[in-house]
Chain A
Amino acid sequence: GAVVSQHPSRVICKSGTSVKIECRSLDFQATTMFWYRQFPKQSLMLMATSNEGSKATYEQGVEKDKFLINHASLTLSTLTVTSAHPEDSSFYICSASTLGARTYNEQFFGPGTRLTVL
């Protein structure tokens, strides 16, 4: 149980285009989803926290107009990189968590999406 999927796993796009990444919790309802960015050989940097039905909370320094996050249901969150540029190339990872006596504070991670902007 507690499987999180991401789609696509890899995307290559031209500079100036927008890219949407989906994060789905397959077998549980995720009250909270997180979006991370990871540069090569580096740790995960939290970009934003999203709760179903409400606006995402962005970390300091993350442009909310560039990284649009939507958490429309308890099983789906999307990250849209708008007007992507080469510096946005990175590995994007989502995670999902749910309130519960046994799973509180545990995040279940998706497999990641490799974005390359040409």
Chain B
Amino acid sequence: AQSVTQPDIHITVSEGASLELRCNYSYGATPYLFWYVQSPGQGLQLLLKYFSGDTLVQGIKGFEAEFKRSQSSFNLRKPSVHWSDAAEYFCAVAVNTNAGKSTFGDGTTLTVKP
């Protein structure tokens, strides 16, 4: 079965600084990869996804992620963080094109210092 690891439980960055959130997955083939953001008390919003093709994917709100097969990673990056980016971030992996069933990492809480 597939699994997702987000090594960092909590990250704090200063506003304007760059950000990288780590995500590692375990699966024998190439999975479908997602990053979601969740604000307190809210549902999940898709930031970006990787299905195939270019391994550097662009998402909304200035986020990007790079799929690295050799490292089984799909890290999320943003060059300059805004205070409104403070939220919970989840990496997810799906392996069945028909079911759409995803496995989520435990999440990383991002705090942005002024």
Write the residues of chain A forming the contact surface with B, with a CB cutoff of 8 angstroms: 4, 6, 32, 34, 41-44, 46, 49, 91, 93, 95, 97, 99, 104-112, 114
Q: Chain B, 72-114, contact with A by CB distance < 8 Å: what is the 0/1 string?
A: 0000000000000000001000101111111111110100000
Beta-carbon nearest neighbor of A96 in chain B? B100
Contacts of A41 in B (CB 8 A): 109
Contact B49 A43 (CB under 8 A): no
Q: Which residues of A contact B41 (CB under 8 A)?
A: 91, 112, 114
Assuming the A-B contacts A93-B44, A110-B43, A111-B43, are A46 and B101 also in contact, with contact meaning beta carbons closer than 8 angstroms in the complex? Answer: yes
Q: What are the residues of chain B within 8 A of A46 when measuring CB–CB?
A: 101-103
Residues of B within 8 Å of A, CB-based: how many?
Answer: 26
Q: How far is the CA of A6 from the CA of B43 in the complex (A)?
A: 10
Chain A, residue nearest B98 (CB): A99
Would you give the shortest CB distance from A94 to chain B, in whole angstroms? 9
Q: Is the CB of A105 within 8 A of B43?
A: no
Q: Is B42 in contact with chain A by the CB < 8 A criterion?
A: yes
In Å, the complex CA distance between A32 and B101 comes to: 9
Main secondary structure of the interface of A (DSSP, over half): strand
A91-B44 Cα distance, complex, nearest whole Å: 12
User: Across the interface, do A104 and B100 meet the contact criterion of CB distance under 8 Å?
Assistant: yes
Is B51 in the interface zone, CB < 8 Å from A?
A: yes
Nearest-CB residue, chain A, relative to B94: A105
Q: Is B100 a contact partner of A106 (Cβ separation < 8 A)?
A: yes
In whole angstroms, what is the CA distance A29 to B90 when docked? 26
With a CB–CB cut-off of 8 A, which chain B residues contact A6? Answer: 43
Residues of B within 8 A of A107 (CB): 100, 102
Q: How near does chain A come to B17, taking the closest CB pair, in angstroms?
A: 24
The answer to whether A106 and B42 touch across the interface, beta carbons within 8 angstroms, is no
List the B residue with the shortest CB-CB distance to A112: B43
User: B32 on the interface (CB 8 Å rule)?
Assistant: yes
Chain B CB within 10 Å, residue with most, of A4, A95, A99, A105: A105
Chain B residues whose C-beta falls within 8 Å of the C-beta of A43 in the assembled complex: 90, 104-107
Q: Can you name 27 A-B residue pairings with CB atoms under 8 Å?
A: A4-B43, A6-B43, A32-B100, A34-B101, A42-B107, A43-B104, A44-B44, A44-B90, A44-B104, A46-B102, A97-B100, A105-B94, A105-B97, A105-B100, A105-B102, A106-B49, A106-B100, A107-B100, A107-B102, A108-B46, A109-B36, A109-B44, A109-B45, A111-B42, A112-B41, A112-B43, A114-B41
